[in-house]
Amino acid sequence: MDMRLTEEQLEFKKIARDFLEAEVVPHRQDWDRAEALDPVIVPKMGEVGFFGLTLPEEHGGLGGDWITYCIGLEELGRADSSVRGIVSVSAGLVGKTILAHGSQEQRREWLPGIAAGTQVGCFALTEPDNGSDPAHLNTRARRERDGWSINGSKIFITNATIADVALVFARTGTGEGQDGARGISAFLVPTDTPGFERHPLHGKLGLRGQATAELSFNDLRVPADALLGQEGKGFRYAMEALDKGRISVAAGCVGIIQACLDATVEYATSRRQFGKPIASNQLVQDMIAEISVDADAARLLTWRAADLAERGAPFGTAASKAKLFASEAAVKAANLAVQVFGGYGYVDEYPVQKFMRDARVMTLYEGTSQIQKLLIGRAETGISAF
């Protein structure tokens, strides 16, 4: 795709790809099989700057713009979506929320470590009974004389077993009208706090190298200054974070699509049948063309949302469109890639079966495809269907 990038953006793209080709791609198959990645990779990614993108230099970040952030997330998605998720959640969902709503003390305590990759955050919103309906979450925080006591559970929490801090959303309101979004607050909870329990989840279809866990809070006590921002504003903070997070997921999906295209072109031009490369077959080229067009379309939708965010313009609907299209296109691209590879695409000696497994969850988390359609429909009609 011919879109003019700055010299700095092109330089970061090269640095990111060279690093990932050397430090991640050779290991992704082993990490996938082991259902765990080497934790050493996290601070290494911090040294390259993945966690510091768009976080201010005064807080240990690199600064930079949203397009550069998308370039970084695309390269991570192209290499291994399991490592992409670590950055999206820690620097994106958690870091950006602390930056936007945290106190100066909270920013000083957590942002430098997050930006360096020496500390990791997790975003504790989803619950066993409340996935697409977080406004009715059940985890509760009760005010005490010297702080808060939190009880409840969360599930499918990325980074949970490696995180140093959890951004926990809990219900604090108890009065009339406080049983929905208005009664939710956000807390920064160090994961070594007594009462904070982690239960790893194994056997996932994809993102197998990524740490995912269920969390339990049993009379977990935090001081008053653990509250992030204003009491009762937690739901709004979560929705703001997810709008930004959808750009991250979309960018990662562009990376999956690009990885499928790269792998498929390489295989189709080298694999020979009936005395010629299979790329000379019309229907093989048809599948490659579909992946190529979707890569460009997904990238442009993602970059449009990123540009709006960069300019401070409303970007929520654009982010939903980008996330919806890119995630569904990633599933489609991976299926087409497996088809081109044939039987070889079905075994883990080749990467496309991993791309297919990793892509599938992208249509589920940070808002399912169906939720994105409802958000887009509400923006178009002015009528909420949920």
Q: Is the pTM above the cut of 0.85?
A: yes
**H-type helices in the chain, by residue range?**
7-23, 28-34, 41-48, 66-79, 81-87, 96-101, 104-116, 234-270, 282-310, 316-341, 352-360, 369-381
DSSP line for 230-284: STT-HHHHHHHHHHHHHHHHHHHHHHHHHHHHHHHHHHHHH-EETTEEGGGSHHH
61 phi and psi angles, rounded to 5 deg: -85, -175
| Boundaries of every domain in the chain | 7-120, 123-230, 236-381
What is the distance between the alpha carbons of residues 207 and 70, in angstroms, rounded to a whole number? 20
What is the distance between the alpha carbons of residues 89 and 68, in angstroms, rounded to a whole number? 17
What pLDDT, on a 0 to 100 scale, did the predictor assign at position 2? 45
223 phi and psi angles, rounded to 5 deg: -70, 170
Return the ∠ at Cα 386 (arms to 314 and 330), rounded to 5°.
65
Q: Which long-range contacts (CB under 8 A, 24 or more apart) does 30-34 make?
A: 31/80, 31/82, 31/208, 31/209, 32/82, 32/208, 32/209, 32/348, 32/354, 33/208, 33/348, 34/209
What is the distance between the alpha carbons of residues 116 and 318, in angstroms, rounded to a whole number? 30
Please report, as a single letter, which amino acid is at residue 350: Y
Q: Examine the residue annotation and report whether 8 is marked as an active-site residue of this protein.
A: no
What is the distance between the alpha carbons of residues 164 and 190, in angstroms, rounded to a whole number? 6
Strand partners, 127: 130
Q: Which of 21, 328, 366, 380 is catalytic?
A: 366
pLDDT by position in tens, the chain (length 386): 446 899 999 999 999 999 999 999 999 999 999 999 999 999 999 999 999 999 999 999 999 899 999 999 999 999 999 999 999 999 999 999 999 999 999 999 999 999 999 999 999 999 998 877 888 899 999 999 899 999 999 999 999 999 999 999 999 977 655 667 889 999 999 999 999 999 999 999 999 999 999 999 999 999 999 999 999 999 999 999 999 999 999 999 999 999 999 999 999 999 999 999 999 999 999 999 999 999 999 999 999 999 999 999 999 999 999 999 999 999 999 999 999 999 999 999 999 999 999 999 999 998 999 999 999 999 999 999 98
CA dihedral 331, 333, 335, 341 (to 10 degrees): -150
What is the distance between the alpha carbons of residues 344 and 349, in angstroms, rounded to a whole number? 8
200 three-state secondary structure: strand
CA dihedral 360, 326, 316, 140 (to 10 degrees): 10
Encoding tokens for residue 193?
């706090």
CATH 2.40.110.10 fits 123-230, yes or no: yes
Q: How many CB atoms lie within 10 A of CB 179?
A: 13
CATH architecture classification, 236-381? Up-down Bundle (1.20)
* 123-230 and 236-381 have identical folds: no
What is the distance between the alpha carbons of residues 229 and 288, in angstroms, rounded to a whole number? 48
**φ/ψ bin of 177: left (φ > 0), alpha (ψ from -120 to 50), beta (otherwise):** left
Q: Homologous superfamily of 7-120 in CATH?
A: Acyl-CoA dehydrogenase/oxidase, N-terminal domain (1.10.540.10)
What is the distance between the alpha carbons of residues 9 and 307, in angstroms, rounded to a whole number? 14
What pLDDT, on a 0 to 100 scale, did the predictor assign at position 4? 82
What pLDDT, on a 0 to 100 scale, did the predictor assign at position 180? 75
**CA distances (Å), origin 173, targets 56, 136, 143, 169, 185:** 33, 12, 10, 12, 8
28 phi and psi angles, rounded to 5 deg: -65, -35
- For strands 276-277 and 272-273, give the pairing: antiparallel
